């Protein structure tokens, strides 16, 4: 099987590629990535020489470049601008990549008669839920940030491609992922790396915003299940029922790192900050038999250990030096 993975140099995408190559030794995986600030080939340094892996630098907004997906058995679209704060500062890149890019990729997939298209979305498209409710697949989309709105728009385009043109599509909506290789601007890696350097840990508002936390390895296995066994036209929520407030997360990390809670600094909340996400994964559990294997306790311990042991990766990522690795390894291709 030949899989065309867009955005495969990012956090979840790189973990997914590594999962595919270790799980399916006869699969061929093409990683198609633009290499923006969060697209880091350093994430895949260990598989550079894998015989079943190929990297192509390209933009999903570039229709001609997408001729590279010819012959693919499936397209898995991770390519996205994904940081909420950046979308609030400027939404233009989010609209271009997440909306126009997704439509361009859908058009190319239809033209190439790709048998399956997997759209990687987010629980954020459904907005904020109340204390006693949970997101299900049929929950209305009520995005509250430019990022979430762009991902909701992409989902509508994916659904339209299925209904109008008969393209075999499936969509995943995962809760907040964490684990190795996450860009250090996100909550958990930012708090870990700041704490290791004895820097202040900025916490938005009162720190009581709630998220369902999902270990990235479990998310990859869920996407695998949807790719191979999901029903065409369906959406699947992926969550681990591990709700934590941001403040609980920060306290846990400081305790694991043996750092004082006095490092916490409360800062002005960001605009439109959703109070609670809570994802109901019953559908994927019942239909596809997927269940998370990591508890939050085991997953966060693994994550802290990884960041402790990979300080050089953090330094290269923060400085942008991983682009030098790309130039050296791929000669600017």
Q: Taking the model in full, what pTM does it have?
A: 0.93
Instruction: Tell me: pLDDT of 310 over 60.
Output: yes
The domain limits of the chain are 2-178+214-241+276-293+321-330
- In which band, very low, low, confident or very high, does the pLDDT at 221 lie, cut at 50, 70 and 90? very high
Residue 299's pLDDT band, with cuts at 50, 70 and 90, is: very high
DSSP state of 279: B
> What are the pLDDT digits (tens) for 86-103?
888 999 999 999 999 999
Q: What is the CA radius of gyration of the chain?
A: 19
Closest CA to 122 of 161, 81, 172: 172
pLDDT in tens, 235-251: 999 999 999 999 999 99
Q: What angle do CA 194, 196, 197 make, to 5 degrees?
A: 65
- Single out the catalytic residue among 42, 59, 124, 294: 124
Catalytic residue, chosen from 59, 123, 212, 280, is: 123
Q: Which of 147, 178, 277, 326 is catalytic?
A: 147
The question of whether 124 is a catalytic residue gets the answer yes
CATH 3.40.50.720 fits 2-178+214-241+276-293+321-330, yes or no: yes
147 labelled catalytic: yes
Q: What percent of the chain has pLDDT over 70?
A: 96
Range list of β-strands (E), the chain: 2-6, 28-33, 53-57, 74-77, 117-122, 169-174, 176-178, 201-204, 210-215, 235-238, 243-245, 264-267
Mean pLDDT of the chain: 93
**β-pair type (74-77, 117-122):** parallel
- Count the neighbouring beta carbons within 10 Å of the beta carbon of residue 197: 9
Binning pLDDT at 50, 70 and 90, where does residue 316 land?
confident
113 pLDDT higher than 60: yes
Angle of CA points 326, 79, 165, to nearest 5°: 140
What's the whole-number mean pLDDT along residues 124-140? 90
Sign of CA dihedral 226, 229, 233, 235: negative
3-class SS shares of the chain: helix, strand, coil, % to 5: 45, 20, 35
Chain-centroid distance, C-alpha 120:
7
Please tell me the predicted confidence (pLDDT) of residue 187.
92
pLDDT band of residue 320 (cuts 50, 70, 90) is: low
| Residue 27: active-site member | no
What's the CA gap between 292 and 12, in Å, rounded? 16
Report yes or no: 191 and 253 within 8 Å, Cβ to Cβ.
Answer: yes
Contact predicate 77/120, CB 8 Å: yes
Q: Between residues 37 and 48, which one has the greater pLDDT?
A: 48
């Amino acid at each position: 099987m030949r899989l065309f993975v867009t955005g495969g140099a990012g956090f979840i995408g790189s973990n997914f590629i590594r999962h595919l190559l270790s799980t399916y030794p006869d699969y061929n995986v093409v990683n198609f990535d633009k290499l923006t600030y969060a697209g880091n080939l350093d994430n895949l340094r260990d598989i550079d020489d894998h015989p079943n892996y190929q990297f192509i630098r390209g933009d999903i907004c570039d229709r001609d470049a997408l001729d590279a997906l010819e012959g693919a058995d499936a397209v898995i679209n991770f390519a996205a601008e994904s940081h909420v704060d950046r979308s609030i500062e400027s939404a233009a890149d989010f609209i271009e990549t997440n909306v126009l890019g997704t439509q361009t990729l859908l058009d190319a997939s239809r033209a190439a008669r790709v048998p399956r298209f997997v759209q990687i979305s987010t629980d954020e498209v459904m907005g904020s839920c109340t204390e006693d409710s949970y997101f299900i697949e049929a929950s209305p989309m009520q995005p509250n940030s430019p990022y979430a709105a762009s991902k909701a728009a992409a989902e509508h385009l994916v659904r339209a491609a299925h209904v109008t043109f008969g393209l075999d599509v499936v969509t995943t909506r995962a809760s907040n992922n964490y684990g190795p290789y996450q860009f250090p601007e996100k909550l958990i890696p930012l708090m870990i790396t700041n704490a290791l350097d004895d820097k202040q840990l900025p916490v938005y508002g009162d720190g009581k915003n709630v998220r369902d936390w999902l270990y990235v390895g479990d998310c990859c296995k869920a996407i695998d299940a949807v790719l191979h066994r999901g029903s065409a036209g369906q959406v699947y929520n992926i969550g681990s029922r591990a709700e934590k407030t941001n403040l609980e997360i920060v306290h846990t990390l400081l305790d694991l790192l043996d750092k004082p809670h006095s490092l916490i600094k409360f800062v002005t909340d960001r605009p439109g900050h959703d109070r609670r996400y809570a994802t109901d994964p019953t559908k994927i559990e019942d239909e596809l038999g997927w269940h998370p294997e990591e508890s939050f306790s085991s997953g966060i311990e693994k994550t802290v250990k990884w960041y402790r042991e990979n300080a050089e990766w953090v330094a290269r990522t923060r400085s942008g030096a991983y682009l030098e690795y790309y130039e050296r390894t791929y000669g600017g291709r």
